[in-house]
Structure 1
Amino acid sequence: MTLLVIHLVATATMTGLIWFVQIVHYPLFAVVGAQESVAYAVEHQRRTSLVVAVPMALEGVTALLVFFTAPQGMNRWWGAAGLVLLAVVLGSTVLLQVPRHARLAEQYDASVVTSLVRSNWIRTVGWTMRTVLAAGLAMWASTSARG
């Protein structure tokens, strides 16, 4: 049960962060002036790394543990689904968001900002689905422990 709660907290933390990034932070890249945009993009990368490192690592480790040490009675497919969603989120991060951030750290480009915001919906939806899944697992464990 403790593992599933830690997993839920880490996943929900990342979901809250990604919604903030999607609705507030990424759209602000379009508002920053061209002269300040490179410094803004570089500082964004530095500060974001500080905020997401621990919850992302914790989420990854607990996702693996949920799959490989599934509590008795839990269908392993739930853990597998969580890992697939995490792979989608991380794949989107590495293949879509990181290259766009690298381009913005070199030079402002409005089309890159638009692409960043649009492609980030993959992570936003993926992390939201992961939170629903993690919450469902925690609720299942809670009711299983009582029964």
Structure 2
Amino acid sequence: MSANDLAGTLLLGLHAAAVWFCVGLVWTVQLLVYPGFAAMDRSGWVDVHGRHTRLMGRLIGLPWLVQGVTCAVLLIWRPAGVPLLLAVAAGACGAATVAVTLAISVPCHERLAQSFDADVLTRLTRTNWWRTAAWTLGGVVALAMLELAA
């Protein structure tokens, strides 16, 4: 295996690992955490929500950064066999997660940090499906790139 092949395999493996970590986390939030928020006793809401946002930032920060950096590299340099179209698709999926997070999820969480609001939680849960879909599709793209490079 050449140094280029090894670098490509490591890049794609790191990218796939980061994306699939995010996929697992977003599905857990979508199917477990947000529904749990809707069902919980409201007396400790501000504390529970604050803990959630602090821990979520710690959990997702590094994998999301790795996803972004590896996407950027893949747009500039790709291992043999990986078409530009897949790198662009990976970048689009990653950009979609960022856009939904900044435009919708963060403002919803900022409102929920003040007090529980069922309408805001419903909006957050409904729009989180967009992030869930984007990350899941990004995971499929990451696996396709690994397969094509192999």
**Shorter-chain TM band:** over 0.9
Which residue, 91, 112, 136 being the options, matches 2:99?
91
The correspondence for 1:22, drawn from 20, 26, 30, is 30
Q: Is the 8 A contact 2:81 2:149 kept in 1?
A: no
1:27–1:113: 8 Å Cα contact kept in structure 2?
Answer: no
Equivalent position SS for 2:39: coil
Q: Is it true that 1:71 corresponds to 2:51 in the alignment? A: no
Residue 65 of structure 1, CA deviation: 0.9
1:117 aligns with 2:125: yes
- Superposed counterparts of 1:5-84, under 5 Å: 5-84=13-92
What letter matches 2:90 in structure 1?
Answer: G
1-structure distance, mates of 2:51, 2:81: 46
Contact 2:13 2:146 in 1 (8 A): yes
Deviation at residue 52 of structure 1 after TM alignment: 0.8
Does residue 134 in structure 1 map to residue 142 in structure 2?
Answer: yes
Q: CA deviation at 1:3?
A: 0.5
Return 5+ residue gaps in structure 2 as ranges.
1-8
Give distance in 2, aligned partners of 1:51 and 1:127: 15
Is the partner of 2:82 in helix, strand or coil?
coil
Report the more deviating stretch, 82-91 or 121-130: 82-91
Query: Equivalents in 2 of 1:63, 1:46: separation in Å?
Result: 26
SS in 1 for 2:78: coil
Equivalent position amino acid for 2:130 in 1: I
Supply the distance in 2 between the matched residues of 1:7 and 1:137 (Cα, whole angstroms).
10
Deviation track 1:9-51 (CA, whole Å, cap 9, x = no partner) reads 1100100000000000111111222221111111111011111
Q: Which stretches of structure 1, 4 residues or longer, exceed 6 Å deviation after superposition?
A: none
Separation of aligned partners in 2, 1:64 and 1:70: 10
Deviation at 1:70, TM superposition (A): 1.4
- TM-score (norm: length of structure 1): 0.93
Give the alignment's Cα RMSD to 1 decimal. Answer: 1.0
